[in-house]
């Protein structure tokens, strides 16, 4: 097990076959030393790429993306979720799948923050069905910028997002991929 | 002018007498080197306090609070905004003023993340009317924890939040206090 798998095994709480609670160290409360280690690990994995910006989506992607942007020495851009009726003209936008995100939010980035010269590393804390990450890919490509890769802290391997993104040909690196959760024993199986 | 005032004067965009856009370096896109400097500055100002946790509110407080928590070597706790009907029992909660925040969100923190032994530094990017910050104070005091102080990157001195919080007796440190915005000349007056 790597450092993140070890921490998830130690402090993650298995609520059901689908639900793993990591709110004491990865979201809600953040262990900054762990996040710094995550930032270094993504920098190691993508150091061959000419990254110019790190892109994440509010909210819980931010503390994972911060140390990555710092390690690369590039700006951190945060895509915002906003009700569709509030959109102004100077943004790229992508729609979250309403069957999964019932709030019908639109994900936006100001056009001035992404250009065709950008090489973007997309970072998020969790990958499940992949809807948020697909919006981020769409925003980057709307700007004719390049998606260099995607870095995820915790992937739920039993949901389809990771499979779908890799099948589209993107380089996706997940630090921990959970394949099964056993709510009876509390055990977690990593890929 | 200090480093943050200089940056706001250089890259902030005055949209009206009330609206200052800082989305190219402080929210939406983050200049990580600037945020690291903000983190160090808050550490310098509050280093006499026995801080055990840094508390902020999603979303744009997070990248300001991250380097502060790192500088103190303590966890970062992120209060969440959630529709009132979705609240479970194990949280402290505070209501945003519905006259200012029409979404009627409730601000919550899991009870397990704040205790009476905690000495909390509250951090946010912006202070205007003070509603969000007052919710954070309320959450800390619901846990019988101690509010050691509040650190704000950019205070709108022409709105009532800063005055109100200081009048309540809290130690509030704002790195930049804007007193007037002139949309004709684009100039910004700092206190």
Q: Which helix (H) or strand (E) holds A9?
A: helix A3-11
Q: Mind giving me the DSSP string for B107-149?
A: EEEEGGG--TT-EEEEEEEEESS-HHHHHHHHHHHHTT-EEEE
Which residues, in sequence order, are CB contacts of A184 under 8 Å at separation 6+? none
Residue pointed to by tokens 């945060």? A78
B94 bridge partner residues: B107
Burial of A72 (0-12, 13-18, 19+ CB in 10 A): buried
Note down pLDDT in tens along chain B; length 191 residues.
999 999 999 999 999 999 999 999 998 999 999 999 999 999 999 999 999 999 999 999 999 999 999 999 999 999 998 876 666 679 999 988 777 666 668 999 999 999 999 999 999 999 999 999 999 999 999 999 999 999 999 999 999 999 999 999 999 999 999 999 999 999 999 99
- Nearest CB neighbour to A113, from listed B29, B62, B113: B29
B129 bridge partner residues: none
- Nearest CB neighbour to A59, from listed B59, B109, B113: B59
Nearest residue of A to residue B36 by CA position?
Answer: A70
Q: Classify domain B3-190 at the CATH class level.
A: alpha beta
Whether the CB-CB separation of A62 and A38 falls below 8 Å is answered with: no
Q: Classify domain A3-179 at the CATH class level.
A: alpha beta
In angstroms, the separation between the Cα of residue B167 and the nearest Cα of chain A is 30
Cα(B64)–Cα(B76) distance, integer angstroms? 11
- Nearest CB neighbour to A29, from listed B30, B62, B113: B113
pLDDT number for residue A84: 66
Contact B110/A69, CB-based, under 8 Å?
A: no
Reading the block at residue B183, the tokens are: 């949309």
Q: Give which of A5, A38, A41 is closest to A22, Cα–Cα.
A: A5
Cα(A93)–Cα(A135) distance, integer angstroms? 8
Contact A63/B58, CB-based, under 8 Å?
A: no
């Amino acid at each position: 097990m790597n450092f993140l798998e070890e921490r998830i095994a130690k402090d993650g709480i298995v609520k059901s076959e689908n639900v793993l609670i990591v709110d004491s160290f990865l979201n809600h409360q953040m262990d900054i030393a762990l996040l710094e280690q995550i930032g270094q690990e993504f920098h190691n994995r993508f150091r061959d790429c000419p990254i110019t910006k790190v892109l994440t989506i509010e909210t819980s992607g931010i503390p994972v993306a911060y140390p990555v942007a710092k390690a690369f020495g590039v700006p951190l851009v945060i895509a915002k979720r906003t009700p569709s009726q509030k959109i102004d003209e100077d943004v790229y936008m992508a729609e979250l799948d309403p069957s999964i995100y019932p709030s019908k939010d639109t994900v936006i980035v100001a056009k001035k923050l992404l250009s065709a010269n950008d090489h973007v590393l997309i970072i998020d804390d969790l990958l499940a069905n992949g809807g948020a990450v697909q919006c981020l890919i769409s925003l980057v490509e709307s700007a004719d910028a390049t998606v260099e890769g995607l870095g995820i802290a915790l992937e739920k391997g039993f949901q389809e997002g990771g499979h779908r993104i890799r099948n589209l040909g993107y380089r996706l690196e997940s630090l921990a991929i959970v394949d099964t959760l056993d709510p009876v024993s509390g055990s977690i199986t990593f890929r």
